[in-house]
Structure 1
Amino acid sequence: MARTSKFDEAQVQELLLQALETERGGIQVYMAAIKAAQNPDLKKEWEEYLEETKTHEEVLTRVFGELGLDTEQQSPGRMIVAHHGQSLVQAIEMAMKEADPAAAELVAAECVVLAETKDHQNWELIGQVALKAKADYADVLKQAYQAVEKDEDHHLYHTKGWARELWIQSLGFPAVLPPPEEVKQVETAIGASRAEQARETMIKRH
């Protein structure tokens, strides 16, 4: 694909600042969520995601170094991302203090979904930049994107499945735990949709 001539370097840097802050916030969100997890499979899953998120932060830190950017540079957008991350951690902590363990676990799952939704979008956009930006950015970002993309899909779609099934369980209906997304090792949006559609069949098998 041809490189675009409308490359907004300042906005690409803003995306990278927000992406790095999202990973840093995600580490804190996972640390809080793990404390709230009641299901051992979910706790194990989040422990794995925490380690992968730490790796993603390292990947982005290397990107900053290779592009000559400052990892500590602030921007209004980055400050808002930091605020969102802190708010999610506070929500989990509030739930653990005020709610019963099952409810706190559900809040934690929803907070992880919110964090991973932003994280997933960041990396989708980084992938777009890698396709269309000038060569020095494109080469660096392509390597980073390829290293992280699969993990990000996994984190978002699997945790959405966990949150849905924990909600269904809380409502008193049969739930599939671990969720279909986990059982079927979903890695794409299409796969996630198919897994959700298969849940009724999976319940009947139980």
Structure 2
Amino acid sequence: MAKKAGNLDQIHDLLYQALETELGGEQVYRAALACTLEDDLRKEWQGYLEETQTHQRVLLGTFETLGLDPDAAVPSRKVVKHLGESLVAAMALAKSQGDAAAAQRVAAECVVLAETKDHQNWELIGLVADKLSGPQAKALKQAYDAVEKDEDHHLYHTKGWARELWIQALGFPAVLPPPEEARHVETAIGAARAEQARDSML
């Protein structure tokens, strides 16, 4: 089956959104770390912050390869930037309320929201790399291969943290660090299995 060219304008727009998501993600993690009480979670998010900075460099390299201006004022970037800034503002608001444990839960939820968008960006970049051919496909595939595993880890592990912190707040036994950590989850199936196994880990 012949590969289609795809909508290059929209593909480039996706890349700009991905870059803006990674730039905003750095700020989200900095704000989340300021809300963190759990040492294991702080260590986890510090690692994610460093990986997010690496993802920025990967994308900037991809932009250079594709001849795209990383500073271009693409309209969709404003929306993505607003979403990231809103998550940072939500964490600041939660922290100002004086309940540190609640602020930590809000931070986990904000990271999950940010990583859901980030994860989808990279899934779509992988799809585009698979559908295209030639130098563009190669550049996108290299970027995808460098980042995708990190994105799975960020999303599924933080979802586990958010769930267990909520369970703890609700007055029930929680698994901390969450099962996703102990089972080294890297896939959606693995995340589902880890959640199912949580009762046996209490």
TM over 0.5: yes
Q: Secondary structure at the match of 1:172?
A: coil
Count how many residue pairs are aligned between Structure 1 and Structure 2.
Answer: 202
Which letter maps to 1:106? R
Q: Which moved more, 1:143-152 or 1:131-140?
A: 131-140
State whether residues 130 and 138 of structure 1, in contact with CA within 8 Å, keep that contact through their aligned partners in structure 2: yes
Aligned: 1:150 with 2:178: no
User: Which blocks of at least 5 consecutive residues in structure 2 are unaligned?
Assistant: none
Distance 2:166 2:81 in 1: 27
Which letter maps to 1:186? V
Deviation (angstroms), 1:192: 0.1
Q: Secondary structure at the match of 2:34?
A: helix
Deviation (angstroms), 1:134: 3.5
Matches within 5 A, 1:34-113: 34-113=33-112
Which letter maps to 1:3? K
Q: Name the % identity.
A: 64
Deviation (angstroms), 1:135: 1.3
Quickly say closer, same or farther: Cα 1:74–1:134, change in 2 above 3 A: farther
Matches within 5 A, 1:1-206: 2-5=2-5, 7-203=6-202
User: Which blocks of at least 5 consecutive residues in structure 1 are unaligned?
Assistant: none
Q: 1:120-166 CA distances to partner (integer Å, 9 max, x unpaired)?
A: 00000000010012312100000000000100000000000000000
Distance 1:137 1:54 in 2: 23
Distance 2:100 2:184 in 1: 27
Which letter maps to 1:4? K
Distance 1:2 1:45 in 2: 43
Distance 1:96 1:34 in 2: 11
Deviation (angstroms), 1:54: 0.2
Which letter maps to 2:20? E
Q: Secondary structure at the match of 2:184?
A: coil
Distance 1:31 1:58 in 2: 18
Runs of 4+ in 1 over 6 A off after TM superposition: none
Q: TM-score, normalised by structure 2?
A: 0.98
Distance 2:76 2:180 in 1: 32
Which letter maps to 2:186? E
State whether residues 130 and 142 of structure 1, in contact with CA within 8 Å, keep that contact through their aligned partners in structure 2: yes
State whether residues 119 and 152 of structure 1, in contact with CA within 8 Å, keep that contact through their aligned partners in structure 2: yes
Distance 2:123 2:18 in 1: 11
Q: TM-score, normalised by structure 1?
A: 0.96
